[in-house]
Amino acid sequence: MKTKKPDIFLVITMCLLVLAAVLCIVILFVQKDPETKPEPVNPQTSSTDSALPSDSGAVTPSGSEIVVPTDSKPAVELKAIDEAALKAALDESLKGLTSEWQVMVIDPALDTHVESAVNCKVDAWMTANRMTQVFIMGTVFKQAQDGTLKLEDVLADVKAMMTTNDTYAADRLTEQLGGGDAAKGREAVKAFAVDNGVKLGFNRPLTGNSTAKNYVSAAYCAELLNKLCKGELVSDAASRQMLELLLTPAENPEIALDLGTDVKYGFVNDVEAGVCICSMGVVQLPNRSYVISVVCNEPVTTDGAKKKVADLVTLVKPYFAE
């Protein structure tokens, strides 16, 4: 009796069905849920562009908050400025002036310092009042990083202080920095200055009359802005946000500057007739920036000193535009 051979076609069909079933099981295990698929990464952005570190002291963009600029420009090889020529030009501009004048210019990219002074030293204490505003802003961001205060609670006052020269906002911030005590707030600002390698004589509110005086020097003001430009003031993210605040066009600036349309600039000015004419700020050219701080005490005339400050800022520009 012959044994019936299995149907070859039936065997092949069964094998194919088993194989198909195995493949389906494998696919079900390895396939990802399409709704949880990660968003595609933009190769031109990084994690630092899309989110700020939680300890940066900076605010992530939303509503009226300041947006930290994230666009990057191609690297340009920078040439050192002609320090000797700039020094000579500054000395010549101050020559013969009878008031006390200080000028400090810094190239943040190459950390080049050029200074000039007449009738005083460039780091000598000079009377000034509103120049403390940049120091106050830095202390605010430092306390925000440390968790002592919430930046969103005081950001409106920081903006008012930096963009409209609101001294009442500056005094409110000083009180906040001291936990409601203005004197402790001033001590906190002075400590912040020391922690960043500079000094500040912060002895009175920015508003009202007082026999006390606030003191700065052109050298210390410029050094603080130098750290800001290099991203070293509090943190890189906080520095960028503070710089954006500084570069916001001021309303009714007390010292008019005409630097052309190819630059972006921001200054804190202090004009007190017969007492001081001061200015500290950053000028951003297309490919580089420079910091300049000018302090004059006991100006002969207010208008003459204001014009001299504007002339000094303008004088520096060609040395960085080359």
> SS3 sequence, the chain?
CCCCCCCHHHHHHHHHHHHHHHHHHHHHHHCCCHHHCCCCCCCCCCHHHHCCCCCCCCCCCCCCCCCCCCCCCCCCCCCCCCHHHHHHHHHHHHCCCCCEEEEEEEECCCCEEEEEEECCCCCCCEECCCCHHHHHHHHHHHHHHHCCCCHHHHHHHHHHHHHCCCHHHHHHHHHHHCCCCHHHHHHHHHHHHHHCCCCCECCCCCCCCCCCCCEECHHHHHHHHHHHHCCCCCCHHHHHHHHHHHCCCCCCCCCCCCCCCCCEEEEEEEEECCCEEEEEEEEECCCCEEEEEEEEECCCCHHHHHHHHHHHHHHHHHHHHC
Report the alpha-carbon angle 53-176-178, nearest 5. Answer: 105
The confidence score (pLDDT) of residue 143 equals 98
Higher pLDDT, 34 or 182: 182
Q: What is the pTM of this model?
A: 0.78
The confidence score (pLDDT) of residue 175 equals 98
The confidence score (pLDDT) of residue 77 equals 76
C-alpha closest to that of 68 among 224, 237, 218: 237
Higher pLDDT, 44 or 80: 80
To the nearest whole number, what is the mean pLDDT of the chain?
84
Instruction: Please give the average per-residue pLDDT across 206-212, as a whole number.
Output: 91
Distance CA 289, CA 280 (A): 14
- Interstrand relation of 126-127 and 215-216 (parallel, antiparallel or unpaired): antiparallel
- Total Cβ atoms within 10 A of residue 95: 9
Residues 6+ apart with CB under 8 A from 30: none
Distance CA 271, CA 305 (A): 9
- Total Cβ atoms within 10 A of residue 40: 6
Quick one: what percent of the chain has pLDDT higher than 90? 69
The confidence score (pLDDT) of residue 12 equals 65
The confidence score (pLDDT) of residue 64 equals 43
The confidence score (pLDDT) of residue 16 equals 65
**Res 301 pLDDT > 70:** yes
Distance CA 92, CA 87 (A): 9
Tell me the backbone φ, ψ of residue 98, rounded to 5 degrees: -95, -15
In the structure, what pLDDT confidence band is assigned to residue 213 with cuts at 50, 70 and 90? very high
Domains and CATH numbers, the chain: 83-321 (3.40.710.10)
C-alpha closest to that of 214 among 223, 225, 204: 204
Instruction: Please give the average per-residue pLDDT across 270-291, as a whole number.
Output: 95
Q: Are 305 and 102 in contact (CB under 8 A)?
A: no
Tell me the backbone φ, ψ of residue 245, rounded to 5 degrees: -65, -45
In the structure, what pLDDT confidence band is assigned to residue 15 with cuts at 50, 70 and 90? low
Q: Are 167 and 207 in contact (CB under 8 A)?
A: yes
- Total Cβ atoms within 10 A of residue 82: 13
The confidence score (pLDDT) of residue 21 equals 61
Amino acid code (one letter) for 43: P
